[in-house]
């Protein structure tokens, strides 16, 4: 079958009836890479310019070959270019079949320029965040494997292990600031060329793919996830730290003071439920912000111990440990101490405070 004759049928209709409703049509995959087989379909997509343009979406089969002409909104294409959507290769490596205007072409080529800049060191932090987000999902899948217990069989363990492997391939791509041009069945050959990857990656993957023992598969998944986490933590440590109190904490104290006042009131009224949630939430919020101001970045999902330890090292009171429904006074005193210490700390770091003693003082400030 000449799959491009199928594409021509669609393109011709766009030109006749939807010329202003479709911005881009492109194709990618096996036919572009010269590896198509007699069963290969044409991987093609379009970017609609109007709501009417979305009507062209169509899935169909010709002589046993499936086709999926599907829409990608500009917003999703932008996420792909930023590696926030894993299908970056669709934008980076496609060939255009139809372009509505030069403006659309320029907009599309700009996305490719963004992808080309992904190796820039300034992008590393954002991509590490993406890797961390995916790695977090791996721990959720590991929990499913562990909770299966004695009922865990080979089929279920392989299914979840495949999910973990797929997530980790993406995670390693982000950590190496790259994307893959091929997916199912071709990740390993691309991962082998990455500079940052677990030393025993191939051993673990072989166990996942070939072992008939659910226990061995689970163990391989656990070790693979933990070694990837260690690599991610090392990359975090290598990120440049820039203290940024004025940038990070402007307006923070003024907002957080409301929660601290709520905590003081809860202590005075002996309302334990309010004290419980506000004390814990406020302490955690302040600890995160102090970490961000010191490090120049927000704590990641796996940095929970680090930002809490920094809070303690700075000498801030542990409100959470002082929660006691029988005695609110230690918590109240600690809250007052925290208010005083936090205000002094951030002002000494050059953070301006909008803190007034009267309405008249505020009015004078506001008028000026």
61: domain CATH number? 3.30.460.10
Same domain as 275, residue 360:
yes
Tokens of 137: 């999902």
Same domain as 126, residue 36:
no
Q: What is the predicted pLDDT for the residue at 119? A: 87
Look at residues 238, 258, 282 and tell me which one is the last residue of a structural domain.
238
**Count of all residues that appear for the chain in the document:** 368
pLDDT digits (tens, 9 = 90+) for 54-71: 999 999 999 999 899 999
Q: What is the predicted pLDDT for the residue at 41? A: 83
Same domain as 190, residue 114:
no
Query: What's the CA gap between 279 and 319, in Å, rounded?
Result: 6
Same domain as 154, residue 50:
no
Task: Give residues with Cβ within 8 angstroms of 330, minimum separation 6.
Answer: 322, 324
Q: What is the largest CA-CA distance in the chain?
A: 82
Same domain as 249, residue 357:
yes
Look at residues 191, 217, 238 and tell me which one is the last residue of a structural domain.
238
Task: Print the domain residue range for 114.
Answer: 3-119
Query: What's the CA gap between 158 and 141, in Å, rounded?
Result: 12
Same domain as 210, residue 125:
yes
pLDDT digits (tens, 9 = 90+) for 203-229: 999 999 999 999 999 999 999 999 999
Instruction: Give yes or no for residue 1 having a pLDDT over 80.
Output: no
Strand order in the sheet with 65-71: 58-62, 65-71, 43-48, 22-28, 95-99
Looking at the structure of the chain, the number of domains it has is: 3
- What is the mean predicted confidence (pLDDT) over 241-245? 86
Nearest C-alpha neighbor of 221 from the set 150, 302, 132, 156: 156
Task: Give residues with Cβ within 8 angstroms of 316, minimum separation 6.
Answer: 283, 286, 287, 290, 338, 341, 342
Same domain as 276, residue 218:
no
pLDDT digits (tens, 9 = 90+) for 2-14: 889 999 999 999 9
Look at residues 84, 101, 119 and tell me which one is the last residue of a structural domain.
119
Higher pLDDT, residue 33 or 261: 261
Say what angle helices 272-295 and 329-348 make with each other, to 10 degrees: 20
Q: What is the predicted pLDDT for the residue at 7? A: 93
The kind and range of the H/E element at 68 are: strand 65-71
pLDDT digits (tens, 9 = 90+) for 144-194: 999 998 899 999 999 999 999 999 999 999 999 998 888 777 888 888 889
Same domain as 169, residue 81:
no
- Tell me the pTM: 0.78
β-strand pairing of 65-71 with 43-48: parallel
Tokens of 31: 């036919």
Percent of the chain with pLDDT over 70: 100
Task: Give residues with Cβ within 8 angstroms of 19, minimum separation 6.
Answer: 100
148: domain CATH number? 1.20.120
Same domain as 253, residue 147:
no
């Amino acid at each position: 079958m000449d799959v491009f004759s199928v594409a021509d049928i669609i393109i011709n209709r766009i030109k006749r009836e939807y010329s202003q409703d479709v911005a881009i049509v492109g194709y990618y995959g096996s036919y572009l890479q010269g590896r198509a087989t007699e069963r290969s379909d044409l991987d093609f997509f379009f970017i609609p310019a109007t709501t009417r343009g979305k009507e062209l979406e169509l899935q169909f089969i010709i002589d046993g070959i499936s086709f999926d002409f599907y829409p990608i909104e500009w917003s999703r294409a932008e996420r792909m270019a930023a590696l926030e959507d894993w299908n970056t290769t669709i934008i980076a490596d496609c060939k255009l079949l139809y372009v509505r205007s030069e403006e659309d072409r320029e907009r599309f080529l700009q996305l490719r320029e963004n992808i080309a800049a992904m190796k820039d060191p300034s992008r590393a932090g954002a991509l590490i965040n993406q890797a961390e987000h995916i790695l977090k999902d791996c721990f959720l899948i590991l929990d499913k494997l562990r909770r299966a217990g004695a009922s865990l069989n080979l089929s279920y363990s392989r299914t979840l292990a495949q999910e973990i492997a797929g997530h980790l391939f993406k995670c390693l791509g982000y950590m190496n600031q790259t994307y893959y041009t091929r997916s199912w069945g071709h990740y390993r050959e691309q991962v082998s060329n990455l500079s940052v990857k677990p030393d025993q990656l191939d051993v673990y993957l072989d166990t996942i793919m070939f072992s008939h023992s659910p226990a061995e598969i689970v163990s391989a998944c656990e070790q693979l996830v933990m070694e990837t986490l260690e690599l991610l933590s090392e990359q975090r440590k290598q990120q440049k730290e820039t203290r940024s109190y004025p940038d990070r904490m402007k307006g923070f104290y003024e907002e957080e003071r409301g929660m601290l006042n709520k905590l003081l009131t809860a202590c005075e009224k002996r309302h334990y439920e309010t004290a419980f949630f506000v004390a814990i939430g406020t302490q955690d919020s302040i600890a995160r912000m102090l970490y961000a101001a010191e490090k120049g970045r927000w704590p990641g999902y796996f940095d929970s111990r680090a930002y809490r330890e920094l809070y303690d090292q700075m000498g801030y009171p542990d409100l959470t440990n002082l929660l006691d429904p029988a005695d609110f006074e230690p918590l109240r005193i600690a809250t007052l101490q925290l208010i005083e210490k936090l205000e002094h700390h951030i002002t000494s770091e050059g953070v301006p405070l909008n803190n007034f003693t009267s309405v008249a003082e505020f009015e004078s400030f506001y008028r000026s």
